[in-house]
Amino acid sequence: MGEEITTTGFTPADKARFADRLAEETGIARRLYEEDGFSRDGHMVGFEIETWIVDHNYAPSSINQNLLETLDHPLVVPELSRFNLELNCPPFRLTGDALTQAHESLTRLWATCNDVAHQLDANLVLIGTLPTIRDSDLTLANMSPLNRYYALNQEVLRLRGGQPLHVNIIGRDRLASVHKDVMLEAATTSFQIHLKAPADLAHLYYNASVAASGPILAACGNAPFLFGRALWEETRIPLFEQAVKVPGPARVSMGSDYATRSLIEIFEENLRDYDALLPMAFDDPPEAMRHLRLHNGVIWRWNRPLIGFDESGAPHLRIEHRILPAGPTFIDMMANAALYLGLARTLAMSGDGAGGLSFNDAKRNFYSAARFGLDAKLNWPGVGQIAADRLLLERLIPDASAGLRDLGVAEEGFLDIIEARVRTRQTGAAWQRKALEARGGDLYGLMAAYCERQRSGAPVHQWEI
């Protein structure tokens, strides 16, 4: 839902027109797929990174509009809150040194953004949840001034009959919070991987992305705290799921099942099962599928199918892998990407795309990994129940390495970083917990140390406490 809209409210006529266009465009997507109209071009990869803006006391700094205006860069765009930004990199063909190229592109952009932030007496930080954020920071006063965000808030509350949103997370501690708006979503920042695949393989990569999500997340946690409470290793997961909860099927979820024959099934499920949250009527031709894409943009599956367009104008299918947190460093995030891309390739080429893992087991694995990280017990075909660290070391990291070779992607030591992180058992979340304990519970001291080590660029498994 990255595009702006022209209104914050919708009439019954808007909703009727949107419903008609959504049905028409979903039918067009099905027809294009059946007629081989989607791109079969090779694999490509792109990235989005959500970042925090903080002041020198490590509190959120609500200056994204000033920063964006000063920066004036097409790859840096606003997020829901005034203290977040989104950084993007252009897509790379998934071969050779693509990951190294992406790493260099993103780090250059990051340096440019931070230079501007420093001019405005602020810093940028990559972290899944900000330990120093307060419940009182998450108010409409800190919402970015864009129609799509105000409309989203209004429609979520309308669907809830005006009832506030309740967050209840039980982890190491327990958090209960009540909000009269959707701003809790702004407390979660992620690293999102876009994998474009040939249309006839896209549903297999979708299934593989779902199946791989649990063990990948176990190795990548970086969001253990919220409002001073120690919760899940990846607190972003339950927080985001509860932050936009409305009647009907969950807006944020693992989805309902694997795809069987094509990704179009997921868009057909969107049409069938989900009310339009932002029923903005456009005048674009139906072939642009703008209503379909907007509707899909406010259904936040952790692995989300997308329809886009190549430079040639040809439609394509891709998967947005949304499970990963921002940070701790760019080298860590590229290592996470290597694990995902390699493992997705190996699984996608294995029959049903899921390597024989049932959807229910994939779902259980995901939530267990989000809560317990490397201590999670996961289920895996041919193995049964196994500790997440053992599964990664003995089977999945080698599988990811084989997948990268199959794609022709240079490994460049990225998977060595994953292996070292798992062997040392020092994810970003584990480091944060140990560092906070060493500082007597001082969240600001934790953030000072975190930012210092992030600036070093060293992978998190090398960070000293």
Going from the C-alpha of 433 to that of each of 323, 324, 373, the distances in angstroms are 21, 18, 12
What's the angle, vertex CA 79, arms to CA 67 and CA 257, rounded to 5? Answer: 155
Looking at residue 247, what is its pLDDT?
A: 94
Looking at residue 281, what is its pLDDT?
A: 87
What's the angle, vertex CA 406, arms to CA 262 and CA 367, rounded to 5? Answer: 55
Token pair in block for residue 124 = 């940028």
- pLDDT digit string (tens) for 215-227? 999 999 999 999 9
SS3 225: strand
Q: Is 134 exposed, middle or buried (0-12, 13-18, 19+ CB in 10 A)?
A: exposed
The yes-or-no verdict on residue 248 having pLDDT over 50 is: yes
Q: Are 401 and 342 in contact (CB under 8 A)?
A: yes
Torsion sign (Cα): 165, 128, 322, 215: negative
Q: pTM for the whole thing?
A: 0.97
CA-nearest of 457, 442, 395, 449 to 422 is 395
CA distance 240 to 242: 5
- pLDDT digit string (tens) for 47-74? 999 999 999 999 999 999 999 999 999 9
Please report which residue ranges of 196-281 form alpha helices under DSSP H.
Answer: 202-218, 236-243, 264-273
How confident is the prediction for the chain on average, in pLDDT?
Answer: 96
Across 113-134, average pLDDT: 97
Residue found by looking up tokens 């040392």 in the block = 424
Across 74-78, average pLDDT: 96
Going from the C-alpha of 48 to that of each of 61, 84, 90, 105, 192, the distances in angstroms are 21, 13, 10, 12, 5
Looking at residue 11, what is its pLDDT?
A: 85
Looking at residue 91, what is its pLDDT?
A: 94
CA-nearest of 451, 376, 358, 374 to 58 is 451
Across 317-338, average pLDDT: 98
Torsion sign (Cα): 281, 88, 464, 462: positive
* Cα 303 to the center of its chain, rounded Å: 8
Going from the C-alpha of 317 to that of each of 199, 209, 298, 355, 409, the distances in angstroms are 6, 14, 18, 21, 21
The yes-or-no verdict on residue 363 having pLDDT over 90 is: yes
The yes-or-no verdict on residue 1 having pLDDT over 70 is: no
Across 144-169, average pLDDT: 93
CA distance 355 to 15: 41
DSSP letter string over 140-200?
A: GGGB-S-HHHHHHHHHHHHHTTTPPEEEEEESSSEEEEEESSSGGGGG--EEEEEEEE-TT
Looking at residue 311, what is its pLDDT?
A: 87
Amino acid in the structure at residue 129? T
CA-nearest of 246, 59, 235 to 164 is 246
Q: Are 206 and 303 in contact (CB under 8 A)?
A: yes
Residue found by looking up tokens 């001082």 in the block = 442
Q: Is the peptide bond before 328 cis (omega within 30 degrees of 0)?
A: yes
